[in-house]
Amino acid sequence: MKGTGTVKVIRGEYIEVVAPRESECSSCALKDSCSNNSLKDGQTIWVRNTIDAEIGDYVEFEFSEKDLNRGMFIVYGIPMIFIIIGAAIGSILEFRYNMRISNLKDFTVFLTTLAFLSVGIVLVKIIDRTVKPYSYTTKIISREIIKPLM
């Protein structure tokens, strides 16, 4: 997957690139129906500075879709799996073993699902903290120097 953006910060061998939403979403099938306003000003991506880009340079970068898919599975897939497991265990406890926490129907299912979702979110946070922030394979393809007009 390719993207473009402007260099905002240089930190050692890495640069912070702000990529406009259009470049990141251009290949997505849901780009016209997406309502994610958190990316309207662009998304910040840390990239290894292999071409000596400087602040203000417009760069084109490429990152692996495998890394993107892995990240999406961690963020969305793990909690979903824990929701399904929690609902299944709650259903078994409530309907097979008649273990009810209150008189409300499906309340045991609700609480076990909520508990397992919490465990899934904690697991995602642990994974997020253990992964190095620059561990993905991103490379800069090209650079265009934009000089300010005086």
For domain 2-65+136-144, which CATH number applies: 2.40.50.140, 3.10.450.750, 3.90.110.10, 2.10.210.10?
A: 2.40.50.140
Domain regions of the chain by residue span: 2-65+136-144, 67-130
pLDDT (0 to 100) of residue 11: 87
Determine the average pLDDT of the residues in 27-37. Answer: 61
CA angle centred on 42, ends 13 and 44, rounded to 5°: 25
Higher pLDDT, 143 or 131: 131
pTM score of the predicted model = 0.66
pLDDT (0 to 100) of residue 150: 47
Over its C-alpha atoms, the chain yields an Rg (Å, rounded) of 22
pLDDT (0 to 100) of residue 51: 84
On average, the pLDDT of the chain sits at: 81
Q: What letters, b where the CB count within 10 A reaches 16 and e where it falls short, cover 23-40?
A: bbbeeeeeeeeeeeeeee
Residue % of the chain over a pLDDT of 90: 31
pLDDT (0 to 100) of residue 94: 92
Q: How far is CA 25 from CA 31, 45, 62, 65, 105, in A?
A: 6, 14, 14, 13, 43
Confidence class for position 109, pLDDT limits 50, 70, 90: very high
CA angle centred on 21, ends 15 and 26, rounded to 5°: 115
- In sequence order, the 6+-apart residues with CB closer than 8 A to the CB of 52 are none
Higher pLDDT, 41 or 20: 20
